[in-house]
Homo-oligomer: A and B are copies of this chain.
């Protein structure tokens, strides 16, 4: 029995991470570390026993063992597994290892495993393969199980990060004319004969169009003679196939759904996205955004699994761009050098002032980026955002400006405390307001341009504000000191 594995599969997670393992009766342990030596021994001495040895182990833990093996051993191991377990394990391996194993197993064996996979996971795997390997595999699949290859091609046409890319095409469609008793029989037969990912919601379809939904519980509780048309809920929450995965996740979260039907532009039902797939989406999107917002090109594997060179590449790219932008601060400083030597005290407050702008800017940018990700805001809301952030910037700037004034006015050894205090205070108001405006409007503009607003990272906003903040500071200083002298 492997009920859990059969019951809810999902797109490949990356299993090679620290921690993990089954917590049996509450005791968490690193199962993969414990079972790895045993499994390796069985594989070497009596590979026929592997099936029995694994009957009580979750595919996730087996995958963890496999992905810590060298690629050749991993292939051998996968080959020795029963087909269903091998398919479940394959789904969970990192992309490069998975591709290696499929190639090494050859089209005949791989086709068998691929046929055991869920439609959505199958399509993802096939999409990763080199063209030649993919065509050989699909030809073999077509021979073994006609129809699957076509299904794979149809699913592969959708963007991987859209509702179409997430959905499974294995769902149970019932007709509005069926009685409740007939529908229960249909569910029973379908559960036996087909590999359905979800039977908690049953969808009612007329001429291919999605017209209603009901839960298994509704079915069990309803009068057996009634027609589905009278029992079903007609208001079905559904999304078009090209809906972005983030919006899919937000819809499922908002309505607390365990599955969400996907339709085409005519309302024809195409498939179902299940909530367990969405948990992975939400986690991955949050990780991607966290990395992007700190100006790191998002990494695919876990922190400890990512190679040093990959990491270096993903970090240095943005650092060089930011550094190039930040070089402008040297030019600005250079341009104002005469002014700085005339009033040496100005220099003292440079880091304080530019950092104030950077900090208020990163607050705004992450608030807006997150609100966009949650669907709370859209680019068309910019006038509201502009109004709020302008007021916020002025308010924050005034508070910080007052503190700045006190420091500059009271600082010992300051030559012209009043002028210096005024300059610092005004500059802080200006720079903080600039920070909130740049930080909030930039993500909206980037989203409007069709890009991911998270590229408007904290360091990116801070660099922009640094350069312009210096110009604001020195311009204010020029005016104040001209008046003061």
Contacts and interface: CB of A to CB of B under 8 A. Distances in A.
A231 to B, nearest CB: 6
A128 interface: no
| Oligomeric state, in copies | 2
Contact of A296 (B6, B215, B363, B384): B363
Contact of A252 (B28, B279, B334): B279
Nearest to A324: B403
A18 interface: yes
Contact of A286 (B15, B282, B304, B403): B282
B350 A240 contact: no
A299 B368 CA distance: 12
A427 to B, nearest CB: 13
Contact of A365 (B255, B294, B355): B294
Listed residue (A22, A191, A276, A355) with the most chain B CB atoms within 10 angstroms of its CB: A355
A191 B254 CA distance: 25
Interface in A444-473: 458-459, 462-463, 466, 470
Interface in A214-237: 214-218, 220-221, 231-237
Interface string A296-325: 100100111000100110011011101110
Given A192-B220, A282-B283, A215 B352 contact: no
A10 B252 CA distance: 11
B237 A376 contact: no
Given A3-B218, A20-B254, A369-B290, A344 B352 contact: no
9 contacts: A3-B213, A4-B201, A4-B257, A23-B240, A56-B235, A252-B279, A329-B355, A337-B347, A362-B458
